[in-house]
Amino acid sequence: MKVFISRKIPEAGLQYLRDASVEISEWTEKRDLLPEELIAYCKSADAFLSAGGNKIDKTFLHAVRHLKVISLHSAGYDNVDVAAATEIKMPIGNTPGVLSDATADIAFLLMLATSRKAFYMSRIIQQGGWGFFEPTANLGIDIRYKTLGIYGLGKIGFELAKRAAAAFGMEIIYHNRSHNEEAEQELHAQWVSFDDLLEKSDVLSVNTALTAETKGKFNKDVFAKMKPTAIFINAARGSIHNEEDLTEALEKGIIWGAGLDVTNPEPMRPDHPLLSMPNVCVLPHIGSATEETRAAMSLLAAKNIVAGLKGERLPFIVNPAIYA
């Protein structure tokens, strides 16, 4: 049995595949495969391990429907037409859970770095601008005892809330479609309406999946309802916020700052105005980028591949309806 892997992945996953006698074909060039190239490589494989944002749409799925399994090297699956995969009984696996801590750390880092203009001040030093001291210059804002609002309080949001409450005594409010009883009991988190989330949050962190409902959710109208002292954090998916509207909100002082691990589009162009703002911190989508987390992700992705090749139920399945 043979698997095609669309990016170089950590050794943990590769070794698991080797131990299961799976032949590995790995794309190593530092460029995205064209759709027709990806189909061609998958044609000669029995399974596909997708690392990166490969578009797994209906056209692709029908072209490679001979595959026994597709496994994602990610928790998110907004690049997959799940309905089309389910229709042709194609099992899709992902890597949930193992990246919650690392991604929460990045959201926490962005929250603190933005509040103190850390990225900007570091650039000032590099540019030779560390000069005369002014007591009123380069001031950030305190986040201690402020209100952290979380849009989408799942595993990542819960870990972020734990850090914020423990380190800075922050009050936690959140908006979900349903209540998170664990967060309410352990962290005294309070469910609020979406409008209340916007109006009350000193820091508003997006930790939800990208769906039809959340795509473009944070736009001009939404930013206008936030506090002028608020910080917007997005470590989920760039398409959840409208980047032009966010830029305008920051330029006009409608909100105070922003910390982004995701942008729309990715990669962000190097001359984007957000990158030169003192009160904005941008990272290149590195939420899961620790050695331990990426190794764990590769292992989960490999386990999905091996199970699928054996005709077994995937341990981490996106579309369980195929087994009905």
- Give the whole-angstrom CA distance, residue 174 versus residue 80: 28
65 assigned to active site? no
Burial label for 158, CB within 10 Å (0-12, 13-18, 19+), is: buried
Per the residue annotation, which of 175, 237, 241, 294 is the catalytic one? 237
Tokens matching residue 225: 């309802």
Contact in structure between 309 and 1 (CB atoms under 8 Å): yes
Residues 131 and 207 in one domain: yes
Residues 106 and 238 in one domain: yes
Q: Profile the chain (324 residues) by mean pLDDT over runs of 10 residues.
A: 97 98 96 96 98 95 98 96 98 97 98 98 95 94 98 97 98 97 98 98 97 97 98 98 98 98 96 98 98 98 98 98 93
CATH number, domain of 317, equals 3.40.50.720
Per the residue annotation, which of 37, 213, 266, 312 is the catalytic one? 266
Give Cα 81 to chain centroid, integer Å: 18
Residues 11 and 43 in one domain: yes
Residues 175 and 113 in one domain: yes
Residues 209 and 296 in one domain: no
Residues 67 and 193 in one domain: no
Q: Which residues pair with 164 in a beta bridge?
A: none
Range of the domain at 23: 2-97+290-323
Residues 174 and 258 in one domain: yes
Residues 166 and 235 in one domain: yes
pLDDT at 324: 84
pLDDT at 42: 98
Count of all residues that appear for the chain in the document:
324
pLDDT at 296: 98
Per the residue annotation, which of 73, 175, 241, 285 is the catalytic one? 285
285 assigned to active site? yes
Residues 252 and 316 in one domain: no
Residues 303 and 254 in one domain: no
237 assigned to active site? yes
Full-model pTM: 0.95
| Number of domains making up the chain | 2
Using the Cα atoms of residue 264, residue 218, residue 202 and residue 158 in order, give the sign of their dihedral: negative
Residues 297 and 276 in one domain: no
